Chains A and B, each alone.
Chain A
Amino acid sequence: MRHSVAHNLDIPMINTASSNKQSEQPQSQTSTPCIAVRDLNFYYGDTQALFDISLDIEAGLVTALIGPSGCGKSTFLRTINRMNDLIAGTRHEGEIVVSGHEIYGKKTDLVSLRKKVGMVFQRSNPFPKSIFENVAYGPKIHGTKNKSRLAEIVEKSLLRADLWHEVKDRLGDSALALSGGQQQRLCIARALAVDPEILLMDEPASALDPRSTAKIENLIAELRGDYTIVIVTHNMQQAGRVSDKTAFFCDGKLVEYGDTEAIFTKPQQQQTEDYIRGRFG
């Protein structure tokens, strides 16, 4: 909660890493939203999973999606990079605009959408290849062929994901030899390597021990400002620690959305309060 107070005053987290970051100030409330969702309905076959979701996610901030299991927060997250398309029988109504482009429009290029909107999954899923290959894969498929340029990107991404110093001497080793927490940071580095604007995180720390979780949370704080981060989490304390804004989902509906501080201290809806106080979910 202490951290979220700092966020509320709109002071960006102090960047402890000394790397050459050109972090921009998180944009103020009046700026155009990075992700604008309007009247989104989403269906798995005949089952409706999301009901009339409308919300604006602001650039440079960390937005947490909370709610009980099966409330649709992961489904919502996966509509933003259209990963739900991979599931047969899904369909949607409404629109999602990411950086000015309607992503479900006819002209949308999934490749460039997913280049712009990176994703980190609940369970770390490194490719069964070397550490280097894992991070270099994204830039490679997007056309970077030059070896020294790739090495540069790999180093920068691993530095950014706070993993470089642990792996710099064994970039050729299998990624599967890393610990769970390291694998998850590798997956973050892999997502950063394609230089996304938005980073979606689907319970990125739920399979990790407290120490590794803390590292991931610190990392999110460091990335804040440079990337728009949307994080799904089951862990209320985590949402409080890392996020600027919180959206509470229940039964496929967006119940409440606002500053994290406000949601946690004086929620407007009874349902939100019950959930946050641990009365259900």
Chain B
Amino acid sequence: MNSAAKSKGEIAFHLLGIAAVSIALLALCALLIDIISSGYSKVSLDFITSYPSRRPANAGIAAALVGSLYLMLLTACFSLPLGVGAAVYLEEYATENKFSKLIELNIANLAGVPSIIYGILGLQLFVRYANLERSLLAGAFTMSLLILPIIIIASREAIRRVPDSIRQAAFALGATRWEMIRDQVIPAAFPGIMTGCILAFSRAIGETAPLITLGALTYIAFLPDGLLSPFGALPIQAFNWISRPQAAFHDNAAGAIIILLTVLLSMNIIAVVLRGRFQKKFAT
């Protein structure tokens, strides 16, 4: 093997890799700089606590931000137990057969379905059939459906990473399957499950398409006051402002995006911290 040629190829590949990373990072940086430079001046306590207005200077994101947070909270309440429950069933109870393989394949496919499809499903299922109107509840149900596959896949992976020897140890002590899962598997998998879930929630909080399909409000002068209350959400607010002709509204949109990114970044930081803990726990 000609080592000079080999190292040449290696250098080329190395450079190619650096170029690929740089392009991705540069695009992200450009986006961030653009948004921060135009939205920076907008971000203030006033902006966060004000309701939408016809005058760009007075308009704020209070309703949208609270709507988004409520939506996430509700979505978490529905999708977390369902998703983790499904993952536990598939990993710990289901026997490997054609049926479980089919379910597995379906879940993997569902994770790749465009979000607008979920919006259409939610519109028909929750808004129309279940008569929930364009409510916070309908939104949360739709979002839950959207992120369920992601949560199931992430939780299954976390559960699978729990060494089998731990299950055997629990069984050998006389634990029932449920005790073994509750006391050993879920606690050991918990940080991994949480990491996956928070990443799923991060995706949900940025989703716009299904909420637009559902008919979430963009001009809303009150905070949601119940499960069946109409609601707004940050990405929709930003989308609405950016599509207005007045340039001043575009800065508002940038401001809303900065807030959204801040929420998202905080969620991701929590995920990273949890993952760090998980790895520490299983070290040695």
Q: Mark B160-173, 1 if CB is under 8 A from A, else 0.
A: 00010111111111
Question: What is the number of contacts between chain A and chain B, taking CB atoms within 8 Å?
Answer: 71
Which residues of chain B come closer than 8 Å to A260, judged between CB atoms?
none
In the bound complex, CA of A119 to CA of B283 (Å): 25
Q: Which residue from A119, A141, A176 sits with its C-beta under 8 Å from B175?
A: A141
When chains A and B are docked, how far (Å) is the Cα of A88 from the Cα of B163?
A: 18
Contact with A along B213-229 (1 / 0, CB 8 A): 00000000000000000
- Evaluate contact between A128 and B282: CB separation under 8 angstroms: yes
Q: Chain A contact residues (Cβ within 8 angstroms of B): what range?
A: 20 to 34
Other 15 A-B pairs with CB < 8 A, given A83-B172, A110-B174 = A83-B168, A86-B167, A88-B95, A111-B176, A113-B174, A115-B173, A123-B165, A126-B169, A127-B169, A129-B187, A137-B173, A137-B183, A138-B174, A142-B174, A176-B283
Q: How far is the CA of A121 from the CA of B37 in the complex (A)?
A: 62
Q: Which residues of B (151-197) have their CB < 8 Å from a CB of A?
A: 163, 165-176, 179, 183-184, 187-188
Contact between chains at A121 and B174 (CB < 8 Å) = no
B109 sits at the interface (CB 8 A): no
Query: Do A125 and B166 contact each other (CB < 8 Å), given the known contacts A176-B282, A176-B284?
Result: yes
Q: How near does chain B come to A191, taking the closest CB pair, in angstroms?
A: 7
Q: A118 with B172: in contact, given A125-B163, A125-B166, A176-B283 (CB under 8 Å)?
A: yes
A residues sitting closer than 8 Å to B (CB atoms) are 81, 83, 86, 88, 110-115, 118-119, 121, 123, 125-129, 137-138, 141-142, 174, 176-177, 187, 190-191, 194
What is the CA–CA distance of A115 and B176 in the complex, to the nearest angstrom?
11
Closest residue on chain A to residue B176 by CB atoms: A111
Distance of B283 from chain A, by nearest CB (Å):
7
Select A114's contact among B163, B171, B187, B282, beta carbons within 8 Å. B171
**Complex alpha-carbon distance, A127 and B166, angstroms:** 6
CA distance A119 to B281 in the complex (A): 25
How many angstroms between the C-alpha atoms of A31 and B101 in the bound complex? 53
Set of chain A residues within 8 Å of B163, measured between Cβ atoms: 125
Q: In the complex, what distance in Å separates the CA atom of A110 from the CA atom of B174?
A: 7
Q: How far is the CA of A111 from the CA of B170 in the complex (A)?
A: 11
Q: Let me know if B173 and A177 touch, CB within 8 A.
A: no
Alpha-carbon separation in the docked complex, A6 to B169 (Å): 34
A121 partner, pick from B169, B179, B183, B187, beta carbons under 8 A: B169
A111 to B96, CA, bound (A): 25
Q: In the bound complex, how far is the Cα of B165 from the Cα of A187, in angstroms?
A: 12
- A112-B95 contact given A125-B169, A127-B169, CB 8 Å threshold: no
